[in-house]
Chain A
Amino acid sequence: EFLATPTIPPTTDPPNHAVESNVYNVASLVARNSSQMVVHSLHIFDRKGKTLFSKTYSKAAAIGQQQLRQTSQGPAEEDPVDEQRKLVFGMLFSLRELVGSLAPEGEKGGLHSIRTGASTLHNYETLSGVRFAMYTTNDVGGADASSSSRRSSAAAESNVSVRDALRHIYTELWVESVIKSPLYRPGEMSTVGQRSSGSGGGDAFDIRSTNFEKKLDSFLQSMPWFR
């Protein structure tokens, strides 16, 4: 007898096909429930808006950056990707002010995530002004009405887990590798855009001298939703 949802195969299939399609359908069901997010990139800003660290993970984001570079019309010295990051920081900053003024009296309001049609930007910031911003894809889409409640709770779960991950990146990785490094000086960190300028940032502290990036990569690889 046929069941209403398309994921359960009809029982009249021959045994081999039933097994295969069963496995396939179970897999897709599981995948639909777990977060199928792809992390696009991660940016770290300081209090003044300088980009301290930035890394793209997915191919889509890397392609987007390349296209931006190729099609930019601006002057030759300005890196359009840098400009884009400044815009992101500006947006986060303005939204934080807005959220702060909208929050009810006495409660700490903060900007957790911004969700657009294309992607979601997760934001975590500390009192010392360090801001972590991670771009991911939106959660599992699809027009399956019956699992919409499951989908929204899965979406909520995955939002929370990204925030937890950002918190972990801050407490375990950032503080341990960068802050505790003896060369760290807050006002003089070399920003990402300065990498190509050669000897300009002689005294400034470069994140590459710590193993922050390696630890970050291995942490993100270990996350179940990272691809």
Chain B
Amino acid sequence: MSKSSASASGHALWSKMPKANTELFALTYGSLVTELIRDYDNADEVNSQLDRIGHSIGVRCVDEFLSKAEVGGINIPPCQTMKDTADVVARIGFRMFLGVSAEVANHAPDGSAFSLFLYDNPLSIFVELPTAEEAAVISGGRGGCDLSKIKYSNIYCGVIRGALEQVNLKVDCRFVRDV
């Protein structure tokens, strides 16, 4: 799909979705992550729980995406290459559900991997994760989890993984750099 038609489709689909308040959304997610940290106290465990939650969200997102595109008369052709998949996910998918587009870059030479850049992450607008030293200070008393190792927006990884699984693409999604 060409760039402009993909962005136009994304924008059209976004305008049809029911909207929620961004701050409410971000704060709800923040409280979810806080609860997870309190329950598990282990950064890796929290990350994998976020990934699992994202996975079940992603599984539902695909059908909703396809059905809204059908209704809106937007034709999403089956992707021929990984590049097409990347474009569809970033430009239309992210745009439709979050209202922000992601940029695609860094395609691996054999077409098997790509990077997504999310410049405006709506989940982390109020969030600042501590660096390693600060985290050591905070968790020193409790001997608990290392807050700097938490991938705050790891839910995205799960969403992408779950969604692509429904269209027969097994992917591995990792955060390279977070807030």
Contact call B166/A128, Cβ cutoff below 8 A:
yes
Do A128 and B62 have beta carbons less than 8 Å apart? Answer: yes
Q: How many A-B residue pairs have CB under 8 A?
A: 43
Given contacts A127-B167, A128-B167, contact A175 B78 (CB under 8 A): no
Q: Contacts A170-B70, A186-B166 hold; do A127 and B60 have CB atoms under 8 A apart? A: no
Contact pick for B70, options A130, A171, A179, A180, CB 8 Å:
A171
Number of interface residues of A (CB under 8 A): 17
Given contacts A108-B77, A179-B63, contact A171 B68 (CB under 8 A): yes
Knowing A171-B68, A171-B70, A171-B71 are in contact, say whether A128-B77 is a contact too (CB < 8 A): no
**In the complex the two chains form, what is the Cα distance from A81 to B146 in whole Å?**
57
Contact residues in A for B60 (Cβ distance below 8 Å):
179-180, 184
The reply on B44 being an interface residue by CB < 8 A is no
Q: Decide: B64 and A179 in contact? CB cutoff 8 A.
A: yes
Asked whether any CB of chain A lies closer than 8 Å to the CB of B67, the reply is yes
- Contact of B56 (CB < 8 Å), options: A128, A129, A130, A185: A185
Contacts of B71 in A (CB 8 A): 171
Chain B interface size band reads: 10 to 19
Q: Which of B59, B64, B66, B68 contacts A127 (CB 8 A)?
A: B66
Say yes or no for A126: interface residue by CB 8 A criterion. yes
Main secondary structure of the interface of B (DSSP, over half): helix
In the complex, chain B residues 42-66 whose Cβ is within 8 Å of any chain A Cβ? 56, 59-60, 62-64, 66
Q: Pick the contact of B59 from A174, A175, A186 — CB < 8 Å?
A: A186
- The reply to whether A171 and B167 contact each other, CB–CB distance below 8 Å, is no
- A-side contacts of B78, CB under 8 Å: 108, 127
Collect the chain A residues with CB atoms within 8 Å of residue B59's CB.
Answer: 184-186
Task: For B64, give the chain A residue with the smallest CB separation.
Answer: A175
20 pairs across A/B with beta carbons < 8 Å?
A: A47-B168, A126-B67, A127-B76, A127-B167, A128-B66, A129-B166, A129-B167, A129-B168, A130-B63, A167-B70, A171-B71, A174-B67, A175-B63, A175-B64, A175-B67, A180-B64, A184-B59, A184-B60, A185-B59, A186-B166
The 6 closest A-B pairs by CB, nearest first: A171-B67, A175-B67, A179-B63, A128-B166, A179-B60, A171-B71
Q: Could you tell me which A residues sit within 8 Å of B by CB distance? A: 47, 108, 126-130, 167, 170-171, 174-175, 179-180, 184-186
B residues in contact (CB < 8 Å) with A: 56, 59-60, 62-64, 66-68, 70-71, 76-78, 166-168
